[in-house]
Chains A and B, each alone.
Chain A
Amino acid sequence: MPVNFPDVQGKRDTVKEQVTEDMLKEVIDLYISETDSISLLDIPSTFVSVDADDAEPIMERNNQYAEACRSRMDNDKYVDQSVQTLNGATKNKQVQSDSIVMVDKATTVTSWDVYDSLISPDTGNNASGWVLSPVMSLLACIILLCFSSASAASSLKEVEALGNSLNAESDLQLIMLSEKFQHCLLVMERSILGNIFQPQLAAYRQLPVIEDPESPVKPGMGEQREEDAESPRSPAVVRLWAFSCELSRGSSVSSMAWNKKNPDLLAVGYGEFGSSNQKPGLVCCWSLKNPTWPERVIRCDSAVTSLDFSSNNPSQLAVGMQDGSIAIYNVKSRDNKACFISSSGCPNRHLDPVWQLRWTQQELSLTGEEKVESLFSVAADGRISKWFVSNNGLDCIDLMKLKKSHNTKKKAGGTTTGKKTESVLSALTPGLCFDFHPTDASVYLVGTWEGLIHKCSCSNSQQFLETFKKHFCPVNHVTWSPLSPDVFLSCSADWTIQLWKQDHHKPVLGFTSTQRTVCDIKWSPKWATVFGAVNEGQLEIWDLNSSILDPVIVQPAAAGVKMNSLLFAPQTDCVLVGDSDGQVTVYQSIDSPNLLFSNLTNFF
């Protein structure tokens, strides 16, 4: 009888699939599901309930069977018979399997490893949910399979031997261009500069200067300290450092402004004045953390004459230029051409240098909630304009036109024809500076070329509220006192500084110290009687509490360099001075006990 031995058939040629590295690393999904129930043995019960329908015949049969069993012994109907079963021949069969490879694997579990694996679903690890990254040691095949999927999670840590020379070059490229590397470089540069400038920066921030106990004492520093100890404790300024770089060398600093939100960020505008050709200007945003290279460099089409940061959007910087155009840059982006908006398309734009720009918040009268900020500018064409953003750039409305006062028309100097054409061309006098009242933002002062200071209101664009006459040369700067109401200062090319009170037509005090034009003047933000002035040759700090005839501190400019702009640093007692060589020097005023007493109201 042919017996079927199905397992002895010729071995099928199964194509062995080449298992590649990738396949091993591939994550294989295993699905476990329930099959239908398979009955292997089903023996129905032989018990029948007494109350069942067919109980009667079953009970009958049971009785009959019991009857038959009882009568079996001596009954002729039943005979004993024996049967034999056939036993098949047994055969031995041997089977051998592949040896089970066992590998020992270990890893150190750290809490961050577990954390990383749990929260990083997008690292290519598609193992459904459960993670096996910290696997202690492997003992069986099944766990080996699971480990291959878990190894995808820990493959981040695996050191891949790709370090041959071919890849090093591409590695370098990749690294150089990545953002994170630039961030590392930035942090590194700042740390080094922090080390180098630590004493100066600490002095700026009014922190105690930490002496490095192991570092070799630099001879220069030692001398300086000796000098300080020997000199009498008179008020003076100490030069801390200077912001300068090759880009700005040679250009003259025209204006500086602090960022309203980040007090460490300073924007400086550079431009070359005096030459008739329009050379491109530069705006550098410096950070205190890096005095050797600006954080942002913005090249402008023409020399920069004024700048201001916005308070509502702290990253917007408005820049006014010598050709009359105004541009608003966004300093957050590194892109040089990230010029937000420019006024070059506006038909009403200024055609002459924009001497001053200011962002001012004026309360929105309707809701009273949000302070709307607008940009105001004063330019050499005699107009004061308020700018707003329209769809294709900036647009402006004129707040005020600075009309020439009658006095100048009577000046009959020069040829009459020359004078006549002048008055025909424009009856406006260039405005050089303006300042908004610190509390009432609709009132502002304007200083003009003629030497007059006009007080104007935003709501009245025809007439000046008041005119202050004292200077006979262009008024370079006018500034309200931030701490004392109704007091303002003006400085002019006639070598004088005048202190005015709002309702007095004559200045309360006048100051002269040298016979040079006073370029810039600023009130100190902390002390109400202190202001700083810069004329071309020196920096002067005046303290009205101690002397009204002479400045308290005088710092001469470096040789060959003219100082032309000034800025007080908020929160600290430092002054920044910009000069004609493109350097912005930071001076700290020390040992000024008089400056501690401050109350201008006492003075008046």
Chain B
Amino acid sequence: MPPFPSQAEVEETLKRIQSQNGVQGIIIVNTEGIPIKTTLDNASTVQYAGLIHQLVMKARSTVRDIDPQNDLTFLRVRSKKNEIMIAPDKDAFSNKTSFLLY
């Protein structure tokens, strides 16, 4: 695991992701499902955060029930109009969950 780069690099990576073709927005969410950083409007953010949090919990629970040593690494929900990509954190239910819309 490389040593963590500075916050500037993180901001830069976020900016790069945001500027990719087709990315509508990015939401970063903490443990309880409260969005702490977002590039979308408030209403959508809150809606997405609430709904997606439950989905992630369910997905993670499913994966781990089958094999407790396994864990969820990435979740993609593809729909007719767009795709939601969710990258949850490794620690179970702890600090960070981030996801974005594509």
Contact = CB atoms under 8 A, between A and B. Distances in A.
A192 B32 contact: no
A504 to B, nearest CB: 51
Interface string B30-55: 11101011000000000000000000
Question: Chain A interface residue count: which class?
Answer: 35 or more
Given A112-B61, A191-B76, 16 more contacts: A110-B65, A111-B64, A115-B64, A115-B68, A163-B32, A168-B36, A171-B36, A171-B95, A175-B30, A180-B89, A180-B91, A184-B98, A185-B10, A185-B14, A193-B20, A334-B5
B17 A188 contact: yes
B98 A188 contact: yes
Interface of A: 110-112, 114-116, 156-157, 159-160, 163, 168, 171-189, 191-193, 195-196, 214, 292-293, 332-335
A110 B61 contact: yes
A116 B68 contact: yes
A164 to B, nearest CB: 10
B95 A178 contact: yes
Interface string B80-93: 10010101111111
27 contacts: A115-B69, A156-B92, A156-B93, A157-B92, A159-B31, A163-B30, A171-B30, A172-B37, A173-B7, A175-B98, A176-B10, A176-B11, A177-B10, A180-B96, A182-B4, A182-B13, A184-B88, A185-B10, A185-B13, A185-B17, A185-B98, A187-B73, A187-B87, A195-B22, A196-B21, A214-B80, A333-B2
A195 B96 CA distance: 24
Contacts of A178: 4, 95-96
B74 A191 contact: yes
A157 B93 contact: yes
A173 B90 CA distance: 18
A186 B16 CA distance: 11
A111 B65 contact: yes
B1 interface: yes
A195 B83 contact: yes
B94 A334 contact: no
Contacts of A159: 31-32
Contacts of A176: 7, 10-11
Contacts of A112: 61, 64-65, 68, 92
B2 A188 contact: no
Contacts of A335: 3
B16 A292 contact: yes
Nearest to A108: B61
A178 B64 CA distance: 24
A193 B87 CA distance: 15
B96 A191 contact: no
A246 to B, nearest CB: 11
A110 B88 CA distance: 20
A196 B4 contact: no
Contacts of B32: 159-160, 163
B7 A177 contact: yes
B16 A188 contact: no
